[in-house]
Amino acid sequence: MPLDRATLDRFLETVDSFVAERLIPAEAEVDATDRIPDGLVEEMKRLGLFGLTVPEDYGGLGLAPPEEMEVAWAVSHAAPAFRSAFGTNVTIGSQGIAIDGTEEQKRRYLPKMASGEIVASFALTEPGAGSDAASLTTRADRDGNGYVLNGVKRFITNAPVAGVFTVMARTNREERGARGISAFIVEAGAPGVRLGGPENKMGQKGAPICDVIFEDCRVPGDALIGGVEGRGFKTAMKALDRGRLHLAATCCGLADRLIRESVDFALGREQFGRPVAEFQLVQAMLADSRTEHDVAWALVRDAARRAGEGEPIARLGAEAKYYASEMVGRVADRAVQIHGGSGYIDDYAVARLYRDVRIYRLYEGTSQIQQLVIARDMLKEAGGSPP
């Protein structure tokens, strides 16, 4: 439900203070230790960040897409590992249940996700199925009243701390594509669930990922999301549609932070007897970054408004995620350039953020996959029959 403007503004002010006073000062420690201190996670829970999108009836704030994106933008002025700590609860980890779950599934899991009592992860990718997610081979075989899962999921965000997974698995072995896939809620403590070792990532230290391995993992029949087989791929895509918009807002928030860091540095650093900000070649970099940020943010806000009005957002989400993730890569590159050699040194936030933002062009659909989603929709609109 949309919040009134004054309430949203108050919430955003609280988030801004939290980012400036608690998160940004902890960035270097999180990068060095690859871990967010428990106390900060507790503060995020108290602020309500884990339940931003969970409907109010289930204990969340129930933010509509335009409000959610404003909060994602604000939080993303801090290193993105912080947003990732609650990000799966707000987007792909909870949305499958929120959109397609049965009433009982919603009542059982959403309040705990909203409060942060449990972390929710989304398990779609496999060693052999990334961009071609519909080719996944994890099996869920019927067994009495329940199912038995076998397979490996790869690169699953927050898996090491997750209490529950949304797992896409094949219930119909005859059907090799999307129609044979169902979505399940699997609790992390269920017998037959095992985690792989931690991955040493290029960036976003403190945002853990690992494999999730299912070995004869038995789940009850009511673990099937929505109680209907064969709809799991659609459920996953619906969760990803809103998730992509959220990631696009995240990219915009990070770009704004990078631009602010660049302006501050350029004003303070002197060469040839004056601040480097006075050199027009530096100003051109600042202007390009600001303009590209504003374009991306306008795209995200327009898509969020239309999503809030009930328009389908598969293409809009893909456009926003594609443009914003490429944009923040260019902005981060310019930020390092403006900082000169200092931009290559980890004492400066831009060096860390440069590595952190690289992931956005890869997960929840690579840039190439977003291009395909956009072009396919364009061709369909024009009456063609794209592959």
Q: Which two tokens stand for residue 147?
A: 């199912």
Which helix (DSSP H) or strand (DSSP E) does residue 146 occupy? strand 146-157
CA dihedral 184, 207, 2, 103 (to 10 degrees): 20
The footprint of ligand FAD on this chain (CB under 6 A) covers a number of residues equal to: 21
Member of 47, 49, 85, 123 binding ligand FAD (CB under 6 A): 123
d(CA 37, CA 42): 9
Q: Binding to ligand FAD by residue 157, rule CB under 6 A?
A: yes
Task: Give yes or no: 364 in active site.
Answer: yes
Would you say 344 and 336 are in contact if contact means Cβ atoms under 8 Å apart?
yes
Instruction: Give min distance, CB of 68 to ligand FAD, in A.
Output: 18
Alpha-helical (H) ranges within the chain are 5-18, 27-33, 38-47, 65-75, 80-90, 92-100, 103-115, 232-268, 280-308, 314-339, 349-356, 367-381
Q: Binding to ligand FAD by residue 167, rule CB under 6 A?
A: no
d(CA 203, CA 85): 15
Handedness of CA 102, 107, 109, 114 (dihedral sign): positive
Instruction: Give min distance, CB of 309 to ligand FAD, in A.
Output: 29
Q: Which is nearer to ligand FAD, 292 or 364 (CB)?
A: 364
Instruction: Give min distance, CB of 133 to ligand FAD, in A.
Output: 7
Of 174-213, which residues contact ligand FAD (CB under 6 A)? Answer: 201, 209
Member of 111, 237, 363, 377 binding ligand FAD (CB under 6 A): 363
Q: Binding to ligand FAD by residue 124, rule CB under 6 A?
A: yes
Instruction: Give min distance, CB of 268 to ligand FAD, in A.
Output: 33
Q: Binding to ligand FAD by residue 349, rule CB under 6 A?
A: no
Q: Binding to ligand FAD by residue 368, rule CB under 6 A?
A: yes
Would you say 118 and 164 are in contact if contact means Cβ atoms under 8 Å apart?
yes
Q: Which residues bind ligand FAD (CB under 6 A)?
A: 121-125, 130-131, 155-157, 201, 209, 359, 362-366, 368-369, 372
Tell me the catalytic residues. Answer: 364
